[in-house]
Structure 1
Amino acid sequence: MINPHKPTLNFDKVEPASLKHKAYVALQKAIIELDFEPGQLLKKSELCKTFGISRTPLTEAIALLVQDGLVEVVPQAGTYVARFSIDELKEGAFIREALEVAAIKELANSITKQNLVELRRNLRLQKAYIDDQDIQGFYNLDSQFHSIILDATGFKKLSRLSDTAWMNVNRVRRLLLPVPGRVDATFVEHQKIFTALEKKDVNLSERVLREHLGKLMTYVAPLEKDHPEYFLLN
């Protein structure tokens, strides 16, 4: 079991919006952070009670989560957190790599001192969280590191497109980071990306980024073997 504790649903911390949107954001966050396991039944009555809302906005929120690929509604059976699909993970990883490689090639020639300051600060914080053995904190900084690169291109929609494609991949990455040595290896890979950008070396930046992102699926295969209950049958 991933999280034996009761899921944390931060409904009240969501910015003011419709009840549907607040439920959607809270559930999306809880699912991505693995507070709900892949394949776990979502009990609507309990969620309505937790959020203090009726079934209508909850049902509308769940419909959005179905569109995200995070939830599956099985007629006459119930609503479940979606299991991982290897094909969808490959597709998400492919789209993310295509977007981020294009971004780093654009950025390598024009990266600013401020961009480098932000990346360097992020790396220092990554090291601090590693030293504190705070995997959750490191995970957040890992995501932020890549967002800095995407946002630095100046293309406002790029990060959102990447996050959408990467949504299910983000779930599986949370299972991978606790793998012994993976956090340290990820940090070293981030350092290589930073060094390449600092040198304004386009080819090196592209190569080290591809190597970094390309390792994901090699870690997923043993994960599928160890936790088949989290994956759809081929």
Structure 2
Amino acid sequence: MGATEENDVPASSPLARRQPIGATARVVDGLRRAIVDLEFKPGTKLDKAELTQRFGVSRFPIAEALNRLKAEGLVDIRPQSGSIVSRIRLTDARENMFLRRALEGEAVVHHAKHRSEQLLSALQSNMGQQKAAIAEDDHPRFHRLDLELHDMFVSVVGYPRVRAMVEGARLSLDRARRLLITPRRIALTCNEHAAIVAAIAAGDPLAARNEMSAHLDSVIGELEDFAKQNPALFDGS
């Protein structure tokens, strides 16, 4: 039996268990990245035949990957019309931002109360790199530094479950945030980050929490405005 036929069997079949370990995971990772990076925009139909060619696998890993991404809210599977990239759900975005506001707010309060010179040095180094990325008009680098800064806020607290929860909420928002990457939004984000770091450095917990809330509220506010102007990319109000 050829490899293509072997992959086109139900997951419960013994033949399915002969699949190369990691094939489905590789498709999940690659397709998730393409969706989050907006290579496949919300509402785009996902053709299984094209995906088999793109990833060099047969239909079984593609079907499994689509089911996993459906569980993550990135893909909608419709029996009569196939699979499409899910539209961004504003209700989910608001809920995930609510979670981030609570947890990251507590994280920066912790850092303002327990000022770590090592953390402050790392935060200030990151801020310097953010400014350099803006000066060089390097949006991908700025995005990576943005993620690193927020990860430092939660990871240094030392609670792995908190970090995992924030990471899950951030991943769910990442696709939406990428729609807002403009020079104006990047400049605002850098200034908002600087205000958070300054409050931590000053040992002011209330200011740190308020600056974090203002930063996250600013992002969700812009996303809601963007949704009004681009309703085809969004689901719900």
TM-score normalised by length of structure 1 = 0.88
Equivalent residue in structure 1 for 2:233, among 193, 206, 230: 230
Residues 48-93 of structure 1 show CA distances to partners (whole Å, capped at 9, x for unaligned) of 1111112112211111111111111111101111101111111111
Q: Is 1:38–2:42 an aligned residue pair?
A: yes
Equivalent residue in structure 2 for 1:137, among 124, 127, 141: 141
Counterpart of 1:204 in structure 2 is: 207
Counterpart of 1:113 in structure 2 is: 117
Counterparts of 1:171-186 in structure 2 under 5 Å?
171-178=175-182, 180-186=183-189
Higher alpha-carbon Rg: 2
The 1-side partners of 2:123 and 2:37 are apart by 24
Equivalent residue in structure 2 for 1:88, among 70, 92, 112: 92
CA shift for structure 1 position 233: 4.6
Counterpart of 2:31 in structure 1 is: 27
Greater shift, 163-172 or 149-158, is seen at: 163-172
Read off the aligned partner of 1:117 and give its amino acid letter: S
Share of identical aligned residues, percent? 32
- SS across alignment from 2:157: coil
Counterpart of 1:7 in structure 2 is: none
Counterpart of 1:61 in structure 2 is: 65
Counterpart of 2:15 in structure 1 is: none
Runs of 4+ in structure 1 off by over 6 angstroms are none
The 2-side partners of 1:200 and 1:31 are apart by 40
Read off the aligned partner of 1:20 and give its amino acid letter: T
Counterpart of 1:221 in structure 2 is: 224
Read off the aligned partner of 2:225 and give its amino acid letter: P
The 1-side partners of 2:114 and 2:21 are apart by 38
Read off the aligned partner of 2:214 and give its amino acid letter: E
CA shift for structure 1 position 210: 0.8
The 2-side partners of 1:226 and 1:188 are apart by 25
Residues 152-177 of structure 1 show CA distances to partners (whole Å, capped at 9, x for unaligned) of 10112322211212333211111112
Structure 2: state its 5+ residue gaps. Answer: 1-19
Q: Is 1:194–2:197 an aligned residue pair?
A: yes
Q: Which structure has more helix as a fraction of its residues? A: 2
Structure 1: state its 5+ residue gaps. Answer: 1-15
CA shift for structure 1 position 24: 0.9
The 2-side partners of 1:144 and 1:126 are apart by 11
